[in-house]
Amino acid sequence: MQGTYRIAVLPGDGIGPEVTGQAIKVLKAVEEIQGPMFRFQTGLIGGAAIDETAVPLPAETISICHNAQAILLGAVGGPRWDHQRHDLRPEAGLLQLRQRQELYVNLRPAVVHDSLVYLSALKPDVVRGTDLVIVRELLGGIYFGNPRGIFAKNGERMGINTEVYREHEIERVAHRAFQLARLRRHKVTSVDKANVLESSRLWRDVVTRIGRMYGDVELQHLYVDSCAMQLIDRPTRFDVVLTNNMFGDILSDEAAMLTGSIGLLPSASLGERTALYEPIHGSAPDIAGRNRANPIAAIASAAMMLKYSFRLEMIADAIERAIAKVLKRGVRTADMAGKKRAVTTTRMGDLIAQETQKALKASAPKKSRKR
């Protein structure tokens, strides 16, 4: 399988460089067996960029991302930059990147592996079989609405954030959710707070209208507080969960705890021209540089990149099967180890790279012998 694919690599802060390094290791292992060539170009973002350039998203990084077919991100942020003003904090670099690349939908899958069911905060018989994906609108809502800020009025300070959604923003993310559901179990759960918020009333109205275009997909509406409760009570009932920017941010972290470790979960932020792939965990500065981080979410994010940006579904599937096989063998990083002996970040990456190569060799077409 030939082809050259350009990837912008933004390691970021904390454990970001460590986990993205393992994802790149797996992609290079794919190169050795399957034939596609990956061209990596590294850029600064977040705190690392602030330290070097005084801004969280330098012009050079913007150029690198613009020239890439996909972006692989590690993590941004950390307490050492908490003193920065809002627009110069590490997280602002990521928000700016999403806006500049017009990445309007975020996919966050949460799958409970049978071999890890005991790690979940829930009872095994409740969580076993959970396989859902949260489709989060990424460019609207309270994170981007204006006015915003901290103001003084009548002798005291007040904080203001504004929730704004436009009809077309809801339409485009709803289409993505229903299209994804057609590839899964044909069910969309739309999450809002329509009993209180006008923005959610518009959300529900638009999603209902879009849903009529997908007669083969079941649509259910839930209030966000009810959804949060049912994710704990009956997580296996969910397939595709469609929701706004803030609710998706919160619910996807809740879903992460169903799996047993936030270090397992990848994400994809998609636009019409390009896409960004990143683990949903943070920068974990307390373990940065100690070779203890779980690289699986970053590796799984690279697999999503192969699937959604490069249409290399067979290779993506091989990586996902390799992850499952290594976990089934009982290999654990520190976040999952419990009383077991933990492997290092690099060792987990090595094992997944090796299993990926085995899977690709096993699935390669056999050459017929000449007679």
- In DSSP notation, 193-234 reads -TTT-HHHHHHHHHHHHHHTT-TTSEEEEEEHHHHHHHHHH-
User: Which pair of structure tokens corresponds to residue 232?
Assistant: 């704990």
Distance (Å, rounded) from C-alpha 26 to C-alpha 271? 25
221 with 205: CB under 8 angstroms? no
Distance (Å, rounded) from C-alpha 254 to C-alpha 245? 15
Catalytic residue among 25, 104, 192, 193: 193
Paired sense of beta strands 4-12 and 70-75, if any: parallel
Reply yes or no on whether 335 is catalytic. Answer: no
Residue 149, strand partner residues: 160
Q: Please report which helix (H) or strand (E) contains residue 9, including its range.
A: strand 4-12
Catalytic residue among 131, 187, 223, 253: 253
The dihedrals phi and psi of 143, each to the nearest 5 degrees, come to -75, -20
User: Which pair of structure tokens corresponds to residue 177?
Assistant: 């959710």
Tokens 């969280």 belong to residue: 56
Reply yes or no on whether 143 is catalytic. Answer: yes
Reply yes or no on whether 5 is catalytic. Answer: no
Catalytic residue among 87, 205, 225, 286: 225
Reply yes or no on whether 153 is catalytic. Answer: no
Reply yes or no on whether 225 is catalytic. Answer: yes
Active site residues: 143, 193, 225, 249, 253
